[in-house]
Amino acid sequence: MKKGLKGLFSVIILSMILSACALDSSSTKDSSASDKKGNTESSSAKSTEVKEYKATNLEALPNKTKARKDTFIAGISAPGGVFLPYFYENGWDGNATDPMFAPLVNLDPTGKPVGILAEKWDVSSDLLTYTFHLRKGLKFSDGSPLTADDVAFTLTLLHDPAYAGEQDISLTAIKGGKEYKEGKVKSIEGIKVVDKETIEITTEEVNAKSLLILGGQVLSKAYYGKDYQFGKLDYLKELYPKPLGAGPYKFVKYVPGQEIRYVANEHYYAGTPKMKNLIFKVIDTSTSLQLFETGELDYAGFSADDDTVEQLKSLGFANLEVGPVNDYGFIYVNNSRPQFKDKAVRQALVYGLDRQKIVDVKFKGYGTVANVPVSKVSWAYNDEGINKYEFNAKKAKELLDQAGWKVGSDGIREKDGKKFVIRYLTRTADDPIIPIAKENYQDIGIKFEPEIMDFNAIVAKLGTKDYDFAAVSTSQILDPSDPVEEFATGNANNAAGYSNPKVDELIKKGLNTLDIEKRKVIYHDLYKELNDDPPVILIHYRQSAKAISGQIEGLHPDNFTGISASLPNISIKK
């Protein structure tokens, strides 16, 4: 459950360049779903289904695969060697830490919380106090005990003023946390160790995301805290390449540019994993299909298309899952610029763009048009009563006329002496949005000019709002609040420059209750408001293909934990 860089904005931008922060060449987090069946649906249908193709000929397994009797190999793209939760900035390092560091609470395949190191938890009636009950006899991989003191140390470390990692612990508003960070007190009032297996955490604001943040991966106080001094965290850098956690696997070695090796942790709370050895092989994602075909990998993920799916099916030895990814693609619209401030103009820009054609060209049957800002696998997804903005050039022209943008002698609309020109930032010249948007927008009197630039240049322009349009995709969505929080007025990550008081209110309400059924209603209302007053142009939901060697049993990639939740249970078929 990681976000790679600080804040949602950074993650969204990061996802434009990272293709697979979770051992999956098709997404920033390994994201196949666990439910079964068909892989095509209308854009209005809610589908979390996956289409499965079972291996038909295990005799066709590559010799390299057959030779492995106690080892599982998956690909990883570009780890940086910072193997410490909360401190890495490279999302791949986050994936590398998952086998070694277990959280108190994780997400199940439906996106709902489930206990890992915490046997259970209680939340007070005012929703401000969380009491975690740890499982008995927990140990770190060196055999040392894991207790509530370690949880308290982890949360305290995240409040240290020298901490500059990706986890914003302030979101939980732990009582006394701000005072500790400012050096006014020596301990955090809201963190109370009741006994070695119980910790009580009191917060000052209700936040639906607090459970997962407070219940994150646990660091050993004895190991990571032995040299701790307030305001001084540089000592931890020496421990980045020497991780110690309580996950199903323990670290063996890292060979930069080649592999990360792990061995089963005999102290893991659920028992020693069935697979003795785990290897994350450092790969170029462009070669992952070849590596899977030749037996170098037991698992690989790909962007879904007919050629790839058919090629994987033809191998005979692969179990294949094709299904939705837990993200969505969209185009940022710079609402702070005069031409985009008018809601009617933004509506016209959605009507005037053939999004279905873009999806068809880009995903060739393995994607659908997005109409609400959350993935289809989320429990919050609901597009009932939502305007689908089906391609309608006539409607777009009417709205632009009403907004005062009149067609000039050159066919380009203008208002107050300013031509309607959209400059679109993208990283690739073969972006299918370019030719489609050029044609569509020219037809309604708008000039569309693509600007091809590198990742860092796009990040800089988005950060300073020096753009008109920019194509992006969200990272993996753990909570429905994740992708919409940035639309709140004044949010530091509000790259769209959007402001709507009703949206602000609904975003806040969505976080101020822990009741999922109540949150569903709130987010549906929010989606309706964002649909009527669109801050961005939603484009697509997509699918990916997951290939698993037919001799591997127990591996079930999902949209929230990738392959990490399955790791303790995988084995080689006898």
Average pLDDT of span 499-513: 97
Cα separation, 165 vs 488, in Å, equals 23
**Burial degree of 543 (CB within 10 A; 0-12, 13-18, 19+):** buried
Identify the H or E element spanning 97: helix 91-97
- Quick: pLDDT tens for 312-371: 999 999 999 999 999 999 999 999 999 999 999 999 999 999 999 999 999 999 999 999
Residue 519 has pLDDT above 50, yes or no: yes
How many structural domains comprise the chain?
Answer: 2
Do 420 and 518 share a domain, yes or no?
A: yes
Mean per-residue pLDDT over the chain, rounded: 90
Identify the H or E element spanning 223: helix 221-224
Average pLDDT of span 513-535: 97
Is residue 460 domain-resident? Answer: yes
Contact yes or no for 25/302 (Cβ under 8 A): yes
Half-sphere exposure for 102 (CA within 13 Å, toward CB):
28
Do 237 and 361 share a domain, yes or no?
A: no
Which CATH number covers residue 210? 3.90.76.10
How far are the Cα atoms of 325, 377, 522 from residue 45, in angstroms, in the given order? 15, 11, 20
| Domain finish residue from 204, 222, 244 | 244
- Quick: pLDDT tens for 387-426: 999 999 999 999 999 999 999 999 999 999 999 999 999 9
Do 112 and 240 share a domain, yes or no?
A: yes
Per-residue pLDDT, 2: 39
Do 219 and 361 share a domain, yes or no?
A: no
Per-residue pLDDT, 205: 96
Contact yes or no for 507/481 (Cβ under 8 A): yes
The token duo for 223 is 């190991």
Cα separation, 81 vs 211, in Å, equals 28
Contact yes or no for 49/37 (Cβ under 8 A): yes
Half-sphere exposure for 300 (CA within 13 Å, toward CB):
29
Average pLDDT of span 38-46: 34
| Domain finish residue from 226, 244, 262 | 244
Per-residue pLDDT, 33: 27
Do 108 and 235 share a domain, yes or no?
A: yes
The token duo for 160 is 């240290």
Per-residue pLDDT, 337: 97
Identify the H or E element spanning 537: strand 536-549
Is residue 255 domain-resident? Answer: no
Per-residue pLDDT, 110: 86
Listed in sequence order, the residues at least 6 apart from 237 whose beta carbon sits closer than 8 Å to its beta carbon are none
Cα separation, 13 vs 191, in Å, equals 34
Is residue 277 domain-resident? Answer: no
Residue 91: band (very low, low, confident or very high) from pLDDT cuts 50, 70, 90: confident
Do 216 and 348 share a domain, yes or no?
A: no
> In terms of Cα–Cα distance, which of 12, 20, 15 is closest to 557?
20
Is residue 71 domain-resident? Answer: no
- Quick: pLDDT tens for 166-201: 899 999 999 999 999 999 999 999 999 999 999 999
Do 221 and 107 share a domain, yes or no?
A: yes
Average pLDDT of span 147-155: 98
Contact yes or no for 243/251 (Cβ under 8 A): yes
Average pLDDT of span 497-514: 97
| Domain finish residue from 244, 268, 298 | 244
Per-residue pLDDT, 90: 83
Helices and strands, number each (H, E), in the chain: 17, 24
In sequence order, what are the beta bridge partners of 122? 131
**To the nearest 10°, the Cα dihedral for 167, 494, 475, 87?**
-20
Residue 46: band (very low, low, confident or very high) from pLDDT cuts 50, 70, 90: very low
Per-residue pLDDT, 15: 34
Q: How far is CA 409 from the centre of its chain?
A: 47
Per-residue pLDDT, 513: 94
Average pLDDT of span 138-145: 98
> In terms of Cα–Cα distance, which of 14, 33, 34, 32 is closest to 23?
32
**Burial degree of 344 (CB within 10 A; 0-12, 13-18, 19+):** middle
Residue 7 has pLDDT above 60, yes or no: no
Q: 169 is in which domain, residue-wise?
A: 98-244
Three-class secondary structure of residue 529 per DSSP? helix
Pairing of β 71-76 and β 105-107: unpaired
What single string gives the DSSP state of each residue in 470-504?
Answer: EEEE----SSTTTTTGGGSTT-TT-TT----HHHH
Do 337 and 446 share a domain, yes or no?
A: yes
How far are the Cα atoms of 6, 162, 192 from residue 181, in angstroms, in the given order? 18, 9, 17
First to last CA, the chain: 33
Average pLDDT of span 217-228: 97
Is residue 523 domain-resident? Answer: yes
- Residue 379, phi then psi, degrees to nearest 5: -65, -15
> In terms of Cα–Cα distance, which of 512, 379, 366 is closest to 51?
366
Per-residue pLDDT, 48: 57
Average pLDDT of span 220-225: 98
Which CATH number covers residue 478? 3.10.105.10
Is residue 269 domain-resident? Answer: no
- Quick: pLDDT tens for 105-117: 999 988 889 999 9
Listed in sequence order, the residues at least 6 apart from 452 whose beta carbon sits closer than 8 Å to its beta carbon are 426, 427, 428, 429
Listed in sequence order, the residues at least 6 apart from 486 whose beta carbon sits closer than 8 Å to its beta carbon are 8, 9, 12, 493, 494, 495, 496
Is residue 30 domain-resident? Answer: no
Contact yes or no for 72/570 (Cβ under 8 A): yes
Pairing of β 447-452 and β 421-426: parallel
What single string gives the DSSP state of each residue in 153-186?
Answer: HHHHHHTSTT--SS--GGGG-BTTHHHHHTTS-S
Is residue 219 domain-resident? Answer: yes
Do 347 and 239 share a domain, yes or no?
A: no
According to DSSP, residue 106 is labeled E
Contact yes or no for 357/313 (Cβ under 8 A): no
Share of the chain above pLDDT 90, in %: 85
Q: How far is CA 535 from the centre of its chain?
A: 21
Strand residue runs (E) in 363-404: 367-369
Share of the chain above pLDDT 70, in %: 92
Residue 89: band (very low, low, confident or very high) from pLDDT cuts 50, 70, 90: confident
Q: How far is CA 353 from the centre of its chain?
A: 27
Pairing of β 299-303 and β 571-572: unpaired
Per-residue pLDDT, 20: 31
Do 231 and 380 share a domain, yes or no?
A: no
Residue 488: band (very low, low, confident or very high) from pLDDT cuts 50, 70, 90: very high
Residue 17 has pLDDT above 80, yes or no: no
